[in-house]
């Protein structure tokens, strides 16, 4: 057994793991409340991405370069950035270990590293992604390839996939299909293309209210839905994909399907250092109170964003409201005061059903509808496309990441 030589321990007060939407937004909101806070951010990536726009990139409606900025440019002033990855959490010691071997101690820990895209869980996918007609809007490197493939396809078989939940933005797999079909319809080639949406689950969308308006578009585009069909293997050069298909009795068989275009959404899992830590629930996600977002066993730890084992939709819109809850509750905890705010499970999914129209699905825990606007939320609207494609990206960079908490009305604890 080799002896490990640890570097000196970095002493942190408030330590935030993750420089994505949740991490940067939270740090900005905390510093707006108290500019003297001592905050350390741990994030290995050099870049920060606005991932909600990748669906638009894949539909030819957004420039992928506009979705990424250097992390240093979005990091609020006064934060210590440690550019490293966490490998181990030791919450009983209030310490974590970095991939450099260095340790970081904390008084309060905020866990928001996001989730991990498990491309390796689909056999052969990593070897062929980005070529042979295999693409994914879930990747900065490949979203533009989706649009290239969509433009090139004049006939044949187009397969879109959705893995088992939970995944980030549960509507994104079908958004890729709708925007592709809208292009083919306008080009007059849709009749020559066999479109199939393979879902690992048994429902088109998790909130029943939105299924009828979405089904209208499925029918408009003449797309076939294959429920309980989970992608397990891809052979890009042969243009073949294999799905595990579950029948009504629960028996599983493997079906081989040929394709000309395959849009893959990878399985998604909790990061290893969370799954293997005492912070994890039975499924490996960070176990927090669904309303206060405080960890159930370690009160000095909070979680937010995609890493949490809560039942809300994993979206940037959910993070927008979670940031305010965690900022207020953390500062109250540090003053030994009661935690004041409750998160209601709010999430939003702007469903891009065609280029220029969006069904804005907003809902909370239990599928409760939580519309921001006094409009029928099941209607596809041009105004909501403008919101999705123009207003929200601007607000993200200039508002949310700067600690501006617009449209974040929340419940106080009773």
- Which bin fits 208, alpha (ψ -120 to 50), beta or left (φ > 0)? alpha
- Indicate which residue of 112, 181, 286, 349 is catalytic: 349
Tokens of 243: 């799905």
User: Terminus-to-terminus CA distance in the chain, angstroms?
Assistant: 54
Secondary structure letter of residue 321 according to DSSP: H
Phi, psi of 233, rounded to the nearest 5 degrees = -155, 145
Is residue 49 among the annotated active site residues?
Answer: no
Query: Please, which residues bridge with residue 168 across strands?
Result: 314
Taken as a whole, the chain contains a residue count of: 414
The single residue listed with the structure tokens 């009749």 is 191
CA distance linking residue 149 with residue 139, whole number of Å: 15
CB atoms within 10 A of CB 83: 15
- Indicate which residue of 169, 181, 286, 308 is catalytic: 169
Instruction: Name, in order, each residue with C-beta under 8 angstroms of 275's C-beta and a sequence gap of 6 or more.
Output: 269, 284, 285
Query: Please, which residues bridge with residue 351 across strands?
Result: 359
- Which bin fits 322, alpha (ψ -120 to 50), beta or left (φ > 0)? alpha
CB-based burial, 219-254: b 16+ in 10 Å, e otherwise: eebebeeeebbbbbebbbeebebbbebbeeeeeeee
214 three-class SS: helix
CB-based burial, 283-298: b 16+ in 10 Å, e otherwise: ebbbbbbbbbbbbeeb
CA distance linking residue 410 with residue 369, whole number of Å: 15
Is residue 169 among the annotated active site residues?
Answer: yes
CA distance linking residue 290 with residue 88, whole number of Å: 24
CA distances from 369 to 14, 79, 108, 364 (A): 35, 37, 34, 6
Tokens of 95: 């310490």
Nearest C-alpha neighbor of 382 from the set 347, 348, 407, 352:
352
Catalytic residues: 169, 349
């Amino acid at each position: 057994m080799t002896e490990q030589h640890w570097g000196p321990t970095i002493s942190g007060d408030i330590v935030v793991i993750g420089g994505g939407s949740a991490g940067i937004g939270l740090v900005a909101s905390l510093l707006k409340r108290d500019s003297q806070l001592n905050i350390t951010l741990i994030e290995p990536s050099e870049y920060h991405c606005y991932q909600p726009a990748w669906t638009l990139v894949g539909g030819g409606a957004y420039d992928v370069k506009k979705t990424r900025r250097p992390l240093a440019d979005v990091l609020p002033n006064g934060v210590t950035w440690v550019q490293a990855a966490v490998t181990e959490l030791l919450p009983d010691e209030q310490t974590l270990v970095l991939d450099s071997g260095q340790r970081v101690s904390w008084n309060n820990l905020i866990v928001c590293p996001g989730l991990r895209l498990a491309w390796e869980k689909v056999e052969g996918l990593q070897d062929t992604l980005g070529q042979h007609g295999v693409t994914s809007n879930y990747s900065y490197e490949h979203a533009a390839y989706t649009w290239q493939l969509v433009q090139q396809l004049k006939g044949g078989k187009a397969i879109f996939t959705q893995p088992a939940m939970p995944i980030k933005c549960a509507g994104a797999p079908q958004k890729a299909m709708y925007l592709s079909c809208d292009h083919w319809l306008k080009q007059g080639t849709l009749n020559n293309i066999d479109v199939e949406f393979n879902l690992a689950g048994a429902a088109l969308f998790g909130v029943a209210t939105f299924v009828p308006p979405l089904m209208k578009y499925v029918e408009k585009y003449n797309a076939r839905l294959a429920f309980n069909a989970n992608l397990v293997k891809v052979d890009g050069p042969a243009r073949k994909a294999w799905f595990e298909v579950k029948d009504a009795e629960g028996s599983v068989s493997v079906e081989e399907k040929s394709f000309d275009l395959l849009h893959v959404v990878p399985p998604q899992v909790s990061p290893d250092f969370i799954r293997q830590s005492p912070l994890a629930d039975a499924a490996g996600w960070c176990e927090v109170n669904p309303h206060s977002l405080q960890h159930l066993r370690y009160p000095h730890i909070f979680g937010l964003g995609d890493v949490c084992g809560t039942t809300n939709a994993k979206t940037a819109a959910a993070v927008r409201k979670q940031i305010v809850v965690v900022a207020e509750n953390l500062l109250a905890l540090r003053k030994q005061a009661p935690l004041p705010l409750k998160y209601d499970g709010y999430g939003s999914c702007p469903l891009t059903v065609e280029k220029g129209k969006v069904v804005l699905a907003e809902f909370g825990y239990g599928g409760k509808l939580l519309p921001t606007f006094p409009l029928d939320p099941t209607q596809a609207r041009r105004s909501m496309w403008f919101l999705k494609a123009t207003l929200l990206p601007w607000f993200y960079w200039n508002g949310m990441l700067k600690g501006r908490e617009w449209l974040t009305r929340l419940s106080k604890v009773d």
